[in-house]
Structure formats: C-alpha cells, structure tokens
Structure 1
Amino acid sequence: MAAPITLDGWYVFHDLRRVRLHDWKSLGQTRAQALMRDWADFANRQYDVQRNREGSFGQFVVSGNKADLLFIYMRPTLSELNDVKAQFASTDLADVTESVYSYVSVVELGGYLAKPGVDIEQDEALQARLKPTMPVHSHVCFYPMNKRRQGADNWYMLPPEERREFLKAHGMIGRQFAGKVKQIISGSVGLDDWEWGVTLFSDDPLHFKKLVYEMRFDESSARFAEFGPFYVGVQVDNDGISDWMMSCVSASSRNAESR
C-alpha cells in the first residue's frame, strides 16, 4: 500500500519553558529589567526574520502549571532551528528558565492540494500555508497526536478511499470554525515522538474546547486518534512578556517590603 504524498514547508520548533522563580526573583527589579531588554533585542531579531519571510516567530504566556512560556519558531531548515536554539541559549532569559517540553516538526499539507501542472514553488496561496506567518490571534493551543495502529483500528491499513472519506468528514467539522480558528498542522513522523503537531489559534479560547469536543464525536477521531498533552496560552508581544515576567518580581518586592 503506497503512502500518501505530503507537501512539506518550514520546520517548526515548539519550545515550552518554565521560569525558575527563585532565580528570577533574586535578580531584583533593575537586573530583571535589563534582562527583559536583552530579551526584546532577541525577539526583535526573530520578528525581523518573519518580516523578511525567512521564518516565523511567536511568544506566548502559558496557562496552568505545565509550562510558563511557549516560543514557536519556524525556519526553512533544521540547521537554522538549531542556530535559533543556540541564539536563545545566549540570552539572559535562558539563564532563568528551563525546558519542560519541546517539539520538532515540519509544516505539512496533503499532497492532493497540489494543482496538476502548477509549480508548487510558484503557487502563492500554497506557499503561504507551507511557510506561514505567525497568526495574530490572541490565544494558542498546541498538542501532539498519533493515528492509532491497533487491531481493526489501524489507520495505516485502511484502503485509501476509506481514509479519504474519514478525512472529508473530519474536514467538514473544521469548516464550521472557519474564521474562528486558524490551524497549523505539522508532521513529525521520524522527527519527534508523535506523528503530528497541531497548533490552533483563536481570539476566543472557548473555540478550542468546542472544536476538539466536536472532533471527539467524529469517527476518525473516536477510532483512530491518540492525543498528547495540551498546552494553552495567550500570545504576547515584547511588552506583554515583560509585563508578565516583571509582575513576578514586583510581587516579590512588595512582599519583601511588607516584611
């Protein structure tokens, strides 16, 4: 049975980090502000890369305790993602944070989207999806997933026609959220521990719940989908991440003064 053809775009690095609060609070406001200025310089370089259409970048404050921060980088090659990783390691922010989860993948689209006789590299609409600018929506949801390979519920042993019918029904649910949720699907077979990474963007996080809930009742998900951890957060700019980080220091300083 032949494997379906995929179209592959930019490589993606999801970097989820926790702030080491003891180290961060011990800096005091003056050093902490200097650290955030250093971070802004780094982030601005990433935004410059995005403006030049040489990659993409987003920063997020994560809800819950699984992580504090999420940085998403996209680049044309894995080597360039490694360079970004090294550049981050040189920042002061790297000294007060630690990685709690990371994910490496590549933006993936179905091969059926390629129009016969059209050069994929010259198809502007397709290239925009394969090399996406970070959506500006205020919220993000990221999770990895697999297709099940168990007994009768083995996705990879289904005939192509049956897979297409499942995906068609699955896609109809997604269309209900057109304009409400933007998604970037990235393939990770052979690149990371799961088979796909799903990154959703929306201005209303409740849409994440409603979309995933609807998908649960779709047969292709009910029978074949296995989900990893979910991470939800708020997209921020340089001022936003600085405000959030500095609020931890400010609260610590107020508590110290009150004692």
Structure 2
Amino acid sequence: MPDRRDPPPTDEGWYALHDFRTIDWDAWRDAPERQRQRALGEVVDHLEARLAVEDADEGESALYSVLGHKADLLLVHLRPSSADIGALERQFERTEFAAFTERETSFVSVTEASGYSERARDYFEGDLDENSGLANYIQTRLKPTIPDATHVCFYPMTKRRGEEHNWYGLSFEERAEQMDAHGDIGRDYGGKVVQMITGAIALDDWEWGVTLWGEDLLDMKDLLYEMRFDPSTSRYAEFGQFCRG
C-alpha cells in the first residue's frame, strides 16, 4: 500500500464571498432619471448597512471599482456562516440597482490558517497560550480586518497535481520547508502588501483565493513576480484570472 501523506491541520474562520459585477451601462442610460435616483438611493443605503455589518454579529465588507474589462464592481463580504453569505446575495438581488448589473463571476471560500510551521503546530495541538502573539496572529488570519487600502488584487489558485510535479505527493516536511521559504518572500513586503488567504476546496473550482491590498499596485506586481521564482510557485502552483481595483 502506498504511503499516505499527512495533511497539515487547518482552522477555519469566516466565510468569504468575492462578488464581481458588471453594470449594463446602456440600460442605465436608457432608464428614466427618477428610476436611476431611486435605485442609487436604495443601493447606497443597502451597501452602507452591509459595510457597517448591520446584518450579522461580526464580519467585514468592502466595495471596490475594478480596473479593466473583467468587471465594474467587486463586493467582498466576510461573515461567520455560509447562511450569512447567502442572505447577503439575496438581499442585493432584491435591490432595484441589481437589475442593472450582471454577475461576471464569484468566489466562495473561508478564511483559513494551516499548521505547516512548527510554531503553528503548537497552536493546533493546544500548547499555545491563547493570549500569545502567535495565537493573536492566527486569529487575525481567521477574522481579518479589511484594510483601508487604495488597491485590491484577487486571484484564485490551485496546487499542481501533475505526473511530474504533484504537491500532494510531497512529504509533509518537504511541503513545510517550501511554505516557509515562500512565506519569507511575503514577509519582506510587510507594511506594503496585506494578504488574505481563503480556502475553497469543495467550495469553489479552485483550492484557494488570494486577496492582496496595498497603496501601490507595483508592490503587488513585485511581490508576485518574485514569488514566481520560488519552487512552491514555479513547480507547484496554477493560477486563475487576476482582477484588480
């Protein structure tokens, strides 16, 4: 019988929805001014309530204008349950403004922390003071604060499972070593780029979603360019469509 690979322990936090919308500008221009003003007033009230998280006990929401042709708007919602996320979708669809939009794509996932590092394993094994710096850091991964940043970038990714390069065929130790080196690159951009990793296995078509925030899109470009040369990316990562706003 072939050896079974050990998966890292994971802990999950809030559910996440990335909702990409395009606006039907022809329909919007053709609509009577009174209807447009009514639709705008209603959707502004709706979004302000969502940004204030009036619909749940905790969570985060943000709205972005998307650069390029892939969408016009990006709504990001973080909520404690999948039911909360589903309710947000239905509430938006009931607004008059929603009739002027079309969902280009969406991504459903959940905030996630994994136990690849030795220190993180202390957290998962219960050997860590809940008030320690590491425990607090992991909680910020599970219940993140969306930063008030100028730019956002989102992309989905999956670890490769090919005949030559199979991430899931590596031993736990090999994966942990590669993830540690990969994380070193990200830490070099601390203060410039904030990231949120969300897990999507069984929730969406890709395995993870990566959301980056920063004041300069070039910082995100530099970070991802440098990571392209890291073996955990060059050998084992596949990426979906990038969207930025």
Alignment TM-score > 0.5, same fold = yes
CA deviation string 1:98-146 (max 9, x = no partner):
0010000000111353534347699544323211122111100000000
Q: 2:150 aligns with which of 130, 138, 149?
A: 138
Report the AA paired with residue 99 of structure 1: R
Separation in 2 of the partners of 1:120 and 1:155?
Answer: 32
| Structure 1 unaligned regions, length at least 5 | 234-259
**Counterparts in 2 of 1:125-204, with a 5 A limit?**
125-204=137-216
Report the AA paired with residue 238 of structure 2: E
The range that moved more, 26-35 or 158-167, is 26-35
The range that moved more, 16-25 or 33-42, is 33-42
Per-residue deviation at 1:179? 0.5
Per-residue deviation at 1:34? 2.5
Per-residue deviation at 1:209? 1.0
Q: 1:207 aligns with which of 219, 229, 237?
A: 219
Residue number in structure 1 paired with 2:109: 105
User: CA contact under 8 A between 1:182 and 1:201: conserved in structure 2?
Assistant: yes
Separation in 1 of the partners of 2:198 and 2:50?
Answer: 20
Separation in 2 of the partners of 1:208 and 1:137?
Answer: 12
Asked if 1:22 is matched to 2:22, the reply is no
Per-residue deviation at 1:172? 1.1
- TM-score norm. by structure 2 comes to 0.89
Asked if 1:216 is matched to 2:221, the reply is no
Cα distance, 1:119–1:49 mapped onto 2, change above 3 Å: farther
Q: 1:74 aligns with which of 78, 84, 99?
A: 78
Separation in 1 of the partners of 2:225 and 2:54?
Answer: 33
Report the AA paired with residue 213 of structure 2: F
Q: Which has the higher helix share?
A: 1
Per-residue deviation at 1:89? 0.6
- TM-score norm. by structure 1 comes to 0.84
CA deviation string 1:129-176 (max 9, x = no partner):
211122111100000000000123100010111111111111111011
**Counterparts in 2 of 1:46-125, with a 5 A limit?**
46-49=50-53, 54-111=58-115, 112=117, 113=120, 115=123, 116-118=126-128, 123-125=135-137
Per-residue deviation at 1:185? 0.3
User: Match of 1:85, SS?
Assistant: helix
Cα distance, 1:204–1:29 mapped onto 2, change above 3 Å: farther
CA deviation string 1:217-245 (max 9, x = no partner):
11110000100000000xxxxxxxxxxxx
Report the AA paired with residue 164 of structure 2: A
Per-residue deviation at 1:211? 0.9
Separation in 1 of the partners of 2:236 and 2:127?
Answer: 34
Residue number in structure 2 paired with 1:256: none
For the aligned residue pairs, the C-alpha RMSD in angstroms reads 2.0
Cα distance, 1:28–1:121 mapped onto 2, change above 3 Å: farther
User: CA contact under 8 A between 1:121 and 1:127: conserved in structure 2?
Assistant: no
Residue number in structure 2 paired with 1:257: none
Asked if 1:3 is matched to 2:7, the reply is yes
Query: % of aligned pairs identical?
Result: 43
Number of positions where the alignment pairs a residue of Structure 1 with one of Structure 2: 233
